[in-house]
Amino acid sequence: MTTIPATFAALLSGVQRPGDFVTAGTAALMTPLIEVDGVGPIALPLLPIQAEQLTAAAERAPYGRGPQTLRDESVRRTWQVDAVRVRIGGRHWPPMLEDIVGRVAAGLGVSGPVFAELYKMLVYGPGDFFLEHRDTEKEPGMFATLVIVLPSLSAGGELVVRHKGREKRLDLRGGDPSELAFAAFYADCVHEVLPVTAGHRLALIYNLVRPGTERPPQPPDYRRDAERVTVFLKSWGAAAGPRKLVYPLEHAYTLAELDFATLKGADAAVAGVLAAAAPPAGCDLHLALLSIEENGSAEHSGSYSYRRRWEEEEEGEFEVVEVIDRLASLTGWRRPDGTPGALGPLPVEEDSEVSPPGALDDLVPDEEHFQEATGNAGASFERSYRGAALVLWPRGRFFAVLSQGGPAVALPYLDDLAARWEGEGGDPASPLRAEAGALAGAILADWPGSGWNGHGRLLVLLTRLGDAEGIKTLLGRIADGDSLTVEDAPAIATACGLLEPERADARIAAIVAGASGRAREACCALLLGVARAFTPAARGALAGAAERLLDAFPEANGRPAAPPDARRDAWPVVRWERSLPVTPHLVADALAALELIAPPLAERLAGRMLAAPKDYGLDAVVKPAVFDLMDRPEARNLAVVERLRNAVVDHLLARIVEPLEPPKDWRRASGLPCHCPQCRELAAFLADPSRERWALKAAEQARSHAETVILNAQADLDVATERRGRPYTLIGTKNQAGYDRRVEQRRQDVTDLERLRSPSVFR
């Protein structure tokens, strides 16, 4: 099956020779010595007085029509000096002329040696002109005319060249006195010089000759090719197919060199054809830098040990084994008119967009680096290719192309459209709004659930555009993708404000059910934000989402909660992960959110917390959560906070009434988690009121076991190792660390109790 990229490349395969019917340029002028018989040396820029002298010495130019030579001032009015009367010298002139001839030969697409024979010097005064005509072949091998216009002050006098329905108008007055301007055109081109309106125009006319007997060169004519490409591009745009086509160029270009006007060889020819073919087909055409970055695994090549000895530093000892990552991307966009394109980096879909298919396979890398194997990774490589490409897409697919660049490329563009739409008044029926909607649709079509960040940014834009459908779609993607972040929560909350509460509930419930396992903080922040964005009356509609949030908090036995709820089957199973810690702030957010939406759910969470002290430690979680909520004016007086507060108060009071006295003898707490003979002996020592020191002379393994047990049990023992004799001795000396800890605890409990009972927070 021939693919679109293959057909496209086939259509361009005949387009090899660059060149056009006319070419022009400017060159720096190193003053030559120009002498004219009867006048003498000519100063540049041409002075009015010398222009007078020149016209006095010149003759009115004749006009050749077929074999006759006519003098008809209605057809032509200019002064001419025959080549035999003109001598041009000076050290810089020959190389300068050679450079110009080389440039025009390339511009006309002519290879092989080309010579320029001076034919005439022409002087145009005010009112002088040259009507439309073709030049006759003045000598064998002449195929084109070269016009060099020397510096002088004048106005008007443009050269107009026409060929097969195309026309080029050239102003050859160099902008600068130290520059000359030139143009060359094929001999069969019709051309004219428009009237000079002021000053004088001084031109040197050369015959361009290619020696030999072959047919004189003709301008390449790719009109048929361009027409065929236009037809093809139209059909591509009308049917399905790749979003864009990427046609890699033959030559390398730096960013500074990248320009339609300076492409080389066949690249210039193809660019010319596409520049003609794309606009009528409704396609955008750009030039871009194409780079490919690759990395993967490598290995030493066979002759490792031999080469290693002699070529210690060489990288040549490695071989690429497998390419693991490869990314082709386009940057440095240029339009056919030479202006930079306003596009960020875009990826290339190598399977479907490269023309011809496979053009980017087996390239020779510009850079390649190998990395030695390390302890846990094999040898690896990194390499890159740099090139350039012509890139085109049907205008209707521009947004789809833009969205290939991901949020970093597409969102700023959408932002700009939204800002312009807002700037013109935000009319929902305006074309800008339609454009922004189309781009948002293209972005959403590509938006993956996870992997792209920027949910929040896109939501903010959709909210600005009032795009409720888009918001629903994106919320669906977020729910599928499980990549919700806390940062996204405010934007989602605001966006939900545009939805009906029931719709928002369904979306948020799906997000919470899908994401709560790994993103409980974000879910809490989200629900809290959405609840606040809704009126108290509308908040009840979020009950479904609130229940999903409750699911994310474990019940007493530590299993994910399974609410006895008929709607449950409608939601995905909560992926709660047991290992994730429940933090006080998280619990406080959850309670606050649930309370705003459905107070009974907050009560259920509080009940769960108090029933599962292992998961929700009273000291570690409940107490700091209560303090957190007491600092929130809208939460501090809630019944659920009061309930948790009372539980913490009871807990603290129970501890405060325990007796607290320093130990009176050497008896210490002796409960140890291990019951091996050595640990039983250690426990007996701890319980003994008369012994202060314990010595364990034993092998390292036994000593370290004892040390671990002492540490884990928080036994009241300082341990040290005595490194005298073999084996060493572990010495344990009793202290009263346990008592000190309880003193500190008591102090803290009293402070906390005071704060919890502070009348300033509870009315």
Ligand X SMILES: O=C(O)CCC(=O)C(=O)O
Residue placing its CB nearer to ligand X in the complex, 119 or 381: 119
| Nearest distance from C-beta of residue 80 to Fe ion, angstroms | 11
CA distances from 362 to 317, 350, 561, 701 (A): 20, 13, 56, 60
Cα dihedral sign for 19, 26, 251, 388? negative
Binds 551, which of Fe ion, ligand X, none (CB < 5 to 8 A, cut-off by type)? none
- C-alpha 299 chain-centroid distance: 32
| Nearest distance from C-beta of residue 54 to Fe ion, angstroms | 19
| In contact, 594 and 565? CB cutoff 8 Å | no
| In contact, 80 and 120? CB cutoff 8 Å | yes
Using rule CB under 5 A, residue 225 touches Fe ion: no
Count of residues binding Fe ion (CB under 5 A)? 1
Binds 645, which of Fe ion, ligand X, none (CB < 5 to 8 A, cut-off by type)? none
The torsion angles phi and psi of 555, rounded to 5 degrees, stand at: -90, 180
DSSP line for 393-447:
EEGGGHHHHHHHT-HHHHHHHHHHHHHHHHHTT--TTSHHHHHHHHHHHHHHHH-
Residue placing its CB nearer to ligand X in the complex, 203 or 545: 203
Among 205, 231, 468, 687, binds ligand X (CB under 6 A): 205
Using rule CB under 6 A, residue 193 touches ligand X: yes
| Nearest distance from C-beta of residue 73 to ligand X, angstroms | 15
| Nearest distance from C-beta of residue 191 to ligand X, angstroms | 6
Residue placing its CB nearer to ligand X in the complex, 193 or 460: 193
Using rule CB under 6 A, residue 128 touches ligand X: no
Using rule CB under 6 A, residue 182 touches ligand X: no
Using rule CB under 6 A, residue 191 touches ligand X: yes
Residue placing its CB nearer to ligand X in the complex, 181 or 644: 181
Distance CA 279, CA 352 (A): 23
Residue placing its CB nearer to Fe ion in the complex, 135 or 716: 135
Binds 546, which of ligand X, Fe ion, none (CB < 5 to 8 A, cut-off by type)? none
Binds 21, which of ligand X, Fe ion, none (CB < 5 to 8 A, cut-off by type)? none
Residue placing its CB nearer to ligand X in the complex, 166 or 680: 166
Neighbouring residues of 128: CB distance < 8 A, sequence distance ≥ 6: 77, 78, 79, 157, 195, 196, 201
Binds 205, which of Fe ion, ligand X, none (CB < 5 to 8 A, cut-off by type)? ligand X
Using rule CB under 6 A, residue 447 touches ligand X: no
Distance CA 206, CA 103 (A): 15
Using rule CB under 6 A, residue 381 touches ligand X: no
Binds 203, which of Fe ion, ligand X, none (CB < 5 to 8 A, cut-off by type)? ligand X
Using rule CB under 6 A, residue 147 touches ligand X: yes
Residue placing its CB nearer to Fe ion in the complex, 137 or 603: 137
What is the pairing mode between strands 201-209 and 115-124?
antiparallel
Q: How big is the chain by its Cα radius of gyration, in Å? A: 43
Among 15, 97, 122, 402, binds ligand X (CB under 6 A): 122
CA distances from 506 to 479, 545, 548, 609 (A): 11, 7, 11, 27
| Nearest distance from C-beta of residue 186 to ligand X, angstroms | 13
Distance CA 545, CA 534 (A): 14
Report the DSSP beta bridge partners of residue 729.
697, 722
| Nearest distance from C-beta of residue 135 to Fe ion, angstroms | 4
Binds 122, which of Fe ion, ligand X, none (CB < 5 to 8 A, cut-off by type)? ligand X
Instruction: Tell me which residues in 117-176 interact with Fe ion (CB under 5 A).
Output: 135
| Nearest distance from C-beta of residue 136 to ligand X, angstroms | 9
Distance CA 158, CA 150 (A): 14
Neighbouring residues of 601: CB distance < 8 A, sequence distance ≥ 6: 543, 546, 547, 550, 594
> What would the two tokens of residue 180 be?
């000359």
| In contact, 118 and 204? CB cutoff 8 Å | yes
Using rule CB under 6 A, residue 203 touches ligand X: yes
| Nearest distance from C-beta of residue 67 to ligand X, angstroms | 17
Binds 668, which of ligand X, Fe ion, none (CB < 5 to 8 A, cut-off by type)? none
Using rule CB under 6 A, residue 159 touches ligand X: yes
| Nearest distance from C-beta of residue 439 to ligand X, angstroms | 49
Residue placing its CB nearer to Fe ion in the complex, 116 or 414: 116
Nearest CA among 400, 523, 415, 502 for reference residue 463:
415
Residue placing its CB nearer to ligand X in the complex, 18 or 125: 125
Give the CB-nearest residue to Fe ion: 135
Using rule CB under 6 A, residue 130 touches ligand X: yes
Binds 159, which of ligand X, Fe ion, none (CB < 5 to 8 A, cut-off by type)? ligand X
Cα dihedral sign for 486, 491, 494, 497? negative
> What would the two tokens of residue 590 be?
């959850």
Using rule CB under 6 A, residue 716 touches ligand X: no
Using rule CB under 5 A, residue 547 touches Fe ion: no
| In contact, 206 and 83? CB cutoff 8 Å | no
Neighbouring residues of 644: CB distance < 8 A, sequence distance ≥ 6: 606, 609, 610, 622, 625, 626, 629
Residue placing its CB nearer to Fe ion in the complex, 66 or 662: 66
Residue placing its CB nearer to Fe ion in the complex, 72 or 416: 72
| Nearest distance from C-beta of residue 158 to ligand X, angstroms | 9
| Nearest distance from C-beta of residue 204 to ligand X, angstroms | 9
Residue placing its CB nearer to ligand X in the complex, 203 or 546: 203
CB 712: neighbour CB atoms within 10 A? 11
The torsion angles phi and psi of 409, rounded to 5 degrees, stand at: -95, -45
Three state DSSP letters for 436-465: HHHHHHHHHHHCCCCCCCCHHHHHHHHHHC
Degrees to nearest 5, angle at CA 106 with 104 and 108: 70
Three state DSSP letters for 735-763: CCHHHHHHHHHHHHHHHHHHHHHCCCCCC
Binds 672, which of Fe ion, ligand X, none (CB < 5 to 8 A, cut-off by type)? none
- Which 3 state secondary structure label does DSSP give 729? strand
Binding residues for ligand X, rule: CB under 6 A, are: 122, 130, 135, 147, 159, 191, 193, 203, 205
Binding residues for Fe ion, rule: CB under 5 A, are: 135
